[in-house]
Structure 1
Amino acid sequence: MKILFANFILKGNLFMEDLKQGLEQHAEVIWDFEEFWKCENHYDIIHLHWPEFLSYDVQKYVWTTDPFPKELYDKIESCLKHWKKSSTIVYTRHVQYPHLRHDDDYLNLYRMVTSYCDTVVHFANFSIEQFKSWYPEHKGITHVVIPHHNYASIPNNSTRETARKHLKIKSDATVMIVFGLIKEHEKELINKAFSFIPTKNKVLLAPKWKINRRKIGYIRLREWVWKFEKWLVSLNSKRIVDLGFIEDDEAHWYLNAADFLFIPRTNELNSGNITLGCTFGLVVVGKKGSDIGEILDETGNPTFEVGNESSLKQAILNAIELSKEGHGEINKKIAFKEWDVSKIADAYINVMKTSIENKRSL
């Protein structure tokens, strides 16, 4: 079997890197988005992920409000028509739409791309039902659930004790981690969740919580205020924030130091942080509903109703109690047993073979 990964992102995206390595145990895997546009060579499977990452030209419009060019849209559709005839198209549904832009242009792009898929892989059943309700006109698509594989490829070279010592965190502190990029509108929710930890001996680990510059016209004053605020934050032992990008080989310090991981995403379909937290033996807290809530419920982790403070407070209290009871280790066993990369790759290969056979039988 010959598989084409048709997206341009690779370096730094462990989901894609690990899946590619897993699939390579069974098939030839080519990662080259330009092959998608050439429409020349033969591939049994065209594996799509994020439509906005089909090329740099497609992706750059996510950062603007400019109209998506009709000629680019038509070119994508022309390529999809070609591959639909000569190959089997499998799409993994990571998101509902681009995080940065979901106007009609990109909603229509997603609608068009998914209409050419033979099989859609989802991380949970919620996504299947949402997909069908959003695209009732899409017929003949096979839907399957394959879990997000674990992050065992991230180096794990510390223990809870050594990690806390490294970060200068008290051994008996209650530590909440928020991993990944934090958006401005999420900061209030994170602060509220952190406030519900019922002890003063607590720490918020949010490496990518960015201290932004204030809107001050006088540049020198703006820079001085910004640097002063960063300095003040650095003095607060209860908040470890604004550290910038964390390399994969440094992530273990932060994850192993935490008691539970909090997901502040309230509008997204999925979050890889569920899998990340479970891989490192953490209790994970996230919203009810969507794939996030479904997976957390299935694994016995706390969820909260968005906009309901009492629900959020109860979820935080439950997370602390579950952490003390060792539920993080249960999560870890699930991550390594059920979400092993080789096991997930096997599932993908079986789905791809079935999709090819189903298409041939039509």
Structure 2
Amino acid sequence: MDIFVPHEKDRNIYLDEIIFFSNHNFIFDNYKNYKESYSIVNIQFPEAIFDWKSPSQEQLLNFEKELISWKKRSKIIYTLNDFESHYDEKKQFLDLFRLLYKYVDGVIHLGNYSLDNFKKYFPDNCLHKVIFHPLYNSLNDNFKTKKFQDMISADLSNKFIVSVVGSVRSQEELDFIIKIFRKIPIANKFLIVPRVLKFNKIPDYIPTRFRKYYKKMIEKRGWFLLSKKRYYFMSQFIEYNYLVDLVKQSSLMIIPRIRSLNSGNLYLGLTFDKPMIIPEIGNLTETAKNLKLPLLNFKKGNYKEVISEVLSLESNQYFTSNDYLAKKSMYHPRKIAHDYDVFFNKIKGI
């Protein structure tokens, strides 16, 4: 079957892992280039349909007509990476998400938390299936990496590297990262955060000529508590060649999510068997519990306990245990692709 993804391919290659093992053909293109021959329309990231820009009411009306037209020939499936747009405080994408919920024929949930909490928002005749996020296996074997050290001026030799490879989208997430880092009881620790997004708002009362200074001051909020010899912050997308090298060098990874439903960072860490600080949120909870990995509970504030347990995983040879390896195989891209194919066939009545 031809599977139409009505937006450009995201830089996150998780779907590529599935496509490699799938029996079906995936086509990425602008939503206006839909063809009646497409059996399935699989929407991954709703915001990408309009190039990550909030659509106007006119655009939404036209897109609704497209959805109605698609349903005459194809089945529309939404992979629920997010229930709403990340940190969309002005709710600019809310109408787009609601429009999709109204017309989709099937939903792929990345965990039972998603299924249990969000199934009610979709039509009664909508089919639902839990299919987990795949590992990033294509980055593991024979992947050509470039030294991350070449990108930065800091000396990483003999350092206990703590990395945060996902985008940091809010001050809340940044505070969370720094709080954990400061509690790690290791002298030679070094924090690397490659992508801190420019999430801080500049108040209207700040004069134009002072805005750039205000912005710099806010971006460094909290960082002054860290010695410059212990951290390196960046604000750019890191190509996988460098990112993989960083992950391999990391002694510990922090999953920086506070309110998210899913995080590919967890599965990137699992791909390379890395100790991780995993918050007890959304679908992350199910995967971590399945693999018997410690979870950080915000209400309990069990930072010290979780950090201690996570740091002991490698010394206890947990990542080479048969139990861990068997459960990790559940997330192999081959299995995830098979689950996608079965669901596609089912929804088409094949």
Q: TM-score, normalised by structure 1?
A: 0.80
Opposite residue 78 of structure 1, the aligned amino acid is K
Structure 2 vs 1, CA of residues 255 and 247 (structure 1 numbering), >3 Å: closer, same or farther? Answer: same
Which residue does 2:14 correspond to in 1? 15
Hey, what's the Cα distance between the residues in 2 that align with 1:204 and 1:157? 27
Opposite residue 316 of structure 2, the aligned amino acid is E
Hey, what's the Cα distance between the residues in 2 that align with 1:323 and 1:174? 14
Q: Could you tell me which of 163, 173, 179 is aligned with 1:177?
A: 163
CA RMSD, Structure 1 to Structure 2 (Å): 3.6
Q: Show CA shifts across 1:260-307 (max 9, x none).
A: 211121110000001000111102222213111221111111211225
SS at match of 1:132: helix
Q: Does residue 179 of structure 2 align to residue 192 of structure 1?
A: yes
Which residue does 1:4 correspond to in 2? 4
SS at match of 2:191: strand
SS at match of 1:199: coil
Q: How does 1:338-357 map to 2 (within 5 A)?
A: 338-357=330-349
CA contact (8 A) 1:146 1:348 kept: yes
Q: Show CA shifts across 1:90-134 (max 9, x none).
A: 21110121114255553332222022222211111000011124x
SS at match of 2:237: coil
Hey, what's the Cα distance between the residues in 2 that align with 1:216 and 1:90? 47
* Structure 1 unmatched ranges of 5 or more: 62-67
Structure 2 vs 1, CA of residues 130 and 107 (structure 1 numbering), >3 Å: closer, same or farther? Answer: farther
CA contact (8 A) 2:80 2:110 kept: yes
Q: TM-score, normalised by structure 2?
A: 0.82
Q: How does 1:290-301 map to 2 (within 5 A)?
A: 290-301=282-293
Hey, what's the Cα distance between the residues in 2 that align with 1:121 and 1:274? 19
* Structure 2 unmatched ranges of 5 or more: none
Hey, what's the Cα distance between the residues in 1 that align with 2:162 and 2:311? 9
Hey, what's the Cα distance between the residues in 2 that align with 1:39 and 1:220? 44
Hey, what's the Cα distance between the residues in 2 that align with 1:208 and 1:306? 23
Opposite residue 338 of structure 2, the aligned amino acid is D
Q: Show CA shifts across 1:58-110 (max 9, x none).
A: x311xxxxxx5322222222111111121112211101211142555533322
Hey, what's the Cα distance between the residues in 2 that align with 1:38 and 1:195? 50
Hey, what's the Cα distance between the residues in 2 that align with 1:356 and 1:193? 47
Hey, what's the Cα distance between the residues in 1 that align with 2:102 and 2:325? 37
Q: Could you tell me which of 256, 273, 280 is aligned with 1:281?
A: 273
Which residue does 1:65 correspond to in 2? none
Instruction: Report the count of equivalent residues.
Output: 336
Hey, what's the Cα distance between the residues in 2 that align with 1:325 and 1:316? 14
Q: Show CA shifts across 1:189-215 (max 9, x none).
A: 111111211232222122224799997
Q: Does residue 23 of structure 2 align to residue 32 of structure 1?
A: no
Hey, what's the Cα distance between the residues in 2 that align with 1:88 and 1:236? 53
SS at match of 1:290: coil
Hey, what's the Cα distance between the residues in 1 that align with 2:211 and 2:42? 50
Which residue does 1:261 correspond to in 2? 253
Q: How does 1:1-362 map to 2 (within 5 A)?
A: 1-6=1-6, 8-10=7-9, 12-23=11-22, 26-34=23-31, 37-56=32-51, 59-61=52-54, 68-101=55-88, 106-133=93-120, 135=121, 138-154=123-139, 168-171=155-158, 173-182=159-168, 183-209=170-196, 222=213, 236-242=228-234, 244-309=236-301, 311-329=302-320, 333=325, 337-357=329-349
Opposite residue 47 of structure 1, the aligned amino acid is N
CA contact (8 A) 1:279 1:332 kept: no
User: What is the CA distance between 1:221 and its match in structure 2?
Assistant: 9.1
User: What is the CA distance between 1:342 and its match in structure 2?
Assistant: 2.5
Structure 2 vs 1, CA of residues 104 and 210 (structure 1 numbering), >3 Å: closer, same or farther? Answer: closer
SS at match of 1:323: coil
Hey, what's the Cα distance between the residues in 2 that align with 1:325 and 1:127? 33
Hey, what's the Cα distance between the residues in 1 that align with 2:286 and 2:4? 30
SS at match of 1:29: strand
User: What is the CA distance between 1:144 and its match in structure 2?
Assistant: 1.0
